[in-house]
Amino acid sequence: MSVLARGTVIFLLALVWGGLPNVRAQAPAAGFTLQQLVDSAMAANPQLRAGRGKWEAARELPAQAGALANPTFTYKGMEDTSSIGNFPNTEEKRFEVEQAFPWFGKRTLRERVAAQDARAMEQDYGTLVRETVREVKETYYELRAVRQVMTITRKEAAVLQQLESVVRTVYASGKAPQVDVLKAQAEQTMLSQRLLELEPRDNSLQSKLNVLMDRDPGAPLTLAETPSPLTIGPESTLDQLLSLAARQRAEIGRAQAELERARAARRLMAREYFPDYSLGLEYRSYRDSPDMAMFMIGVDLPVWQGKYRAGVREAEKMTAANEAALEAVRNQVRQEVQQAQVNVVKARQSLHLYQQALIPQAIARFNASEAGYRTGQVGFLDLLESERFLLNARSLTAMAEGNVGVQLARLEQAVGGSLPSNTAPGETSK
């Protein structure tokens, strides 16, 4: 190969290689939004790719189940024993072609059974998708809450440094003992310890999100700003959510596919009483005799009726079992939707209580304690207690906000998809 040709090949290979899509999620410059995390997991998650591959493979089953068996070709040669060494150039030659056919309607029913198997596999893939989306969203909101708590803790550490300065000033004036300075320093050490306890949780959640997106578990992961889950969607009734779940839940779709499969299998077994048949054509050549053609038709003899009756009974029992299974899945879905809706409502109520009552009360308490300490009306322990209370209130609020997002993700999984744009979880309908 010439140098020019070799260079051309290398250039083309470079173009092809550079044009190949990279399914691994690349971190945006401004950090991942929640939707970007979900989209990246949908594109790159290996479990989802495996599940989709199995579903797409199952879609090829109906064509195989409805196809005819391969025809058979047979060559027969007949010769007297004294000339048997001339084989295969025998004096009598027979060429046979034969095709087997199932009884009318069997191929269609077999194809229908396979189609329901493929549909069940599709619903399994849908279940895997919803579980992955829920897992991404749960992890995102938990990680976001942990990082908010870490930010709050760092800010509180700065506040404690200011408190320490106040204490030192009061101590220098002789109005406070030295132990107050030591208490302020000890409180800062406790906050540092709290940050050390939060870091492993942050790393664990970040690693989990990276794995869901098929990224290096240790890759840095920055989160972009996302609206608070408290502001997502207006109210929705339980009946609306149940109606949505009945249409969207993959588990219901799978149970329906299993039921339809059993019904098709029942009809197929009823046709097994009828014989399959075969058609054939034979061409015969013998010495100087005229060549001859022969048409053949054959049928199998379904004389052992007991196994067919047993097959029909089996199919009937499977149909009844799948009807019960479908009802059980529907009941389970109703329970899951109702419980998920209650959890969202309670989580939102808790967050609203923290934001509207607890945080303002904690701030007012801290401000009053700080002012009282400066004037000598409040002891330093009371001031520290007010600071701890404010820190805990803000941390609880951050965790409560994350819990709202987690519960919304679980509600989405319970209804089998995203909540409608004009509805979101509200009070249970009467």
Q: Which of 349, 326, 320 is nearest to 235 (CA)?
A: 349
Domain ranges of the chain: 9-229+250-338
The pLDDT of residue 425 is: 42
- The span from the CA of 381 to the CA of 379, in Å, is 5
Enter the pTM of the model. Answer: 0.81
The count of other CB atoms within 10 Å of the CB of residue 18 is: 7
3-state per-residue secondary structure call for 65-98: HCCCCCCEEEEEEECCHHHHHHCCCCCEEEEEEE
The pLDDT of residue 128 is: 95
Using alpha carbons, list the distances in angstroms from residue 307 to 108, 310, 312, 313, 318: 22, 5, 9, 10, 16
Residue with tokens 């007297």: 80
Q: What share of the chain is helix, strand, coil (3-state, %, to 5)?
A: 70, 10, 25
pLDDT in tens, 325-362: 999 999 999 999 999 999 999 999 999 999 999 999 99
Q: Cβ-count burial of 11 within 10 angstroms (0-12 exposed, 13-18 middle, 19+ buried)?
A: exposed
Residue with tokens 């509200």: 426
The pLDDT of residue 215 is: 94
Q: Which of 197, 209, 178, 198 is nearest to 45 (CA)?
A: 209
pLDDT in tens, 400-413: 999 999 999 999 99
CATH number at 9-229+250-338: 1.20.1600.10
CB-side exposure of 353: number of CA atoms within 13 Å?
8
Q: What is the DSSP letter of 358?
A: I
Q: Cβ-count burial of 167 within 10 angstroms (0-12 exposed, 13-18 middle, 19+ buried)?
A: buried
The answer to whether the Cα torsion of 16, 21, 22, 26 is positive or negative is: positive
Classified as helix, coil or strand, 295 is strand
Mean pLDDT by 10 residues, the chain (430 residues): 39 36 56 91 94 94 93 86 65 90 93 95 95 95 94 86 74 70 81 90 95 94 77 69 92 96 94 92 87 91 88 94 96 95 92 93 90 80 86 93 93 87 40
